[in-house]
Amino acid sequence: MNDVLDHLRSKLLDISSDHSPSRYSLSSFWKINMAFRPNNLELGYTDTILVAYTHVAGACFCPYVVNDPATSFIGQDARTFTDDELCYRIAVLDAAFGIHRLPADLSYKLQEPIAEKAFGRANIVCNEVSRLASQRQLLRPKILTIGSVGTIISELVSRGYEVFGTDLDSSVVGKQLSGVTIADGNQETLSLLQSVDIAIVTGMTFATGTFDSILATGIKSNTAIVMFCQTGANFAPYLRELGVNSIVAEYFPFYMFPGESAISIFRS
């Protein structure tokens, strides 16, 4: 299901109805294949990132093998772009929403070496978790990471929280990150989500088609949701109106690239 993405497409058309199509013309596409391990808290992994560009970059981490971008994409209106590949549609939607970025509650610039940026980013995400835990007067909250990141799990554990993790990547499932055994997301995510206080949800759930059920389960269970988005960083802040409590938006180029990384916080 991708009802949320359909909602976002309708939202985009509403807020851009009186804008010139030239603002949304796709000018370039990148497909980036990468292997990466920022520090010894993470497992080494490979990823494919799709980046679409209008006047702003939009991105999607793709969890499956995807075709190379086509020159026929160039010049299309990002608002009405269609393609069989979900990951391309997400990257383009994100690029279109980049023209309509909402005001952030907090913004950060990470300028350290990549390994240090990984820890800075984890601290930013976990600070949002701590803020929500404080609001709910939880001394030792139960936290679920959906799409498990080693540095984030390590920071949560160091704060004394009870931490659980799930992932869809078979190379991660069953492994331990800072003492937390990562469960199979296909089997455990929704049941764990019903039993925790706060969930950190990666934007990659848009590309796996699992976000709609995660959001619905979280709302029903009164589980606070912190979205952590590289995928969908531009459009995710609009999901606060649907019940997401906090969005940590990391804009392309991401922390694993050299140079400055920009992160913004959006709170409900």
Task: Quick: pLDDT tens for 4-36.
Answer: 999 999 999 999 999 999 999 999 999 999 999
Task: Quick: pLDDT tens for 200-259.
Answer: 999 999 999 999 999 999 999 999 999 999 999 999 999 999 999 999 999 999 999 999
Q: Residue 76 and residue 251: Cα distance in Å, rounded? A: 22
Q: What is the pLDDT of residue 44?
A: 84
Residues in contact with 84: Cβ distance below 8 Å, sequence separation at least 6, in sequence order: none
Q: Residue 134 and residue 119: Cα distance in Å, rounded? A: 22
Strand partners, 166: 146, 183
Q: What is the pLDDT of residue 267?
A: 98
Q: Return the residue matching tokens 């920009």.
A: 262
- Measured in whole angstroms, the distance separating CA 80 from the mean position of its chain's CA atoms is 23
Residue 1 has pLDDT above 70, yes or no: no
Token pair, residue 176, equals 């331990």
pTM of the model: 0.95
Over range 101-110, report the average pLDDT.
97
Over range 123-141, report the average pLDDT.
97
Residue 143 has pLDDT above 60, yes or no: yes
Task: Quick: pLDDT tens for 41-99.
Answer: 998 888 999 999 999 999 999 999 999 999 999 999 999 999 999 999 999 999 999 99
Residue 177: pLDDT band (50, 70, 90) is: very high
Token pair, residue 216, equals 């619905």
Token pair, residue 137, equals 């007067």
Q: What is the pLDDT of residue 264?
A: 98
Residue 159 has pLDDT above 80, yes or no: yes
b/e 42-63 (16+ beta carbons within 10 angstroms → b)? bbeeebbbbbbbbebbbbbbbb
User: Structural domains in the chain?
Assistant: 3-100 (3.30.390), 106-267 (3.40.50.11590)
Angle of the 211-221 helix axis to the 3-15 helix axis, nearest 10:
100
Q: Return the residue matching tokens 């455990």.
A: 188
Over range 142-163, report the average pLDDT.
97
The amino acid present at 34, given as its one-letter code, is M
Q: Is 12 helix (H, G, I), strand (E, B) or coil?
A: helix
Please report, in angstroms and rounded to a whole number, the separation of the first and last CA atoms in the chain: 24
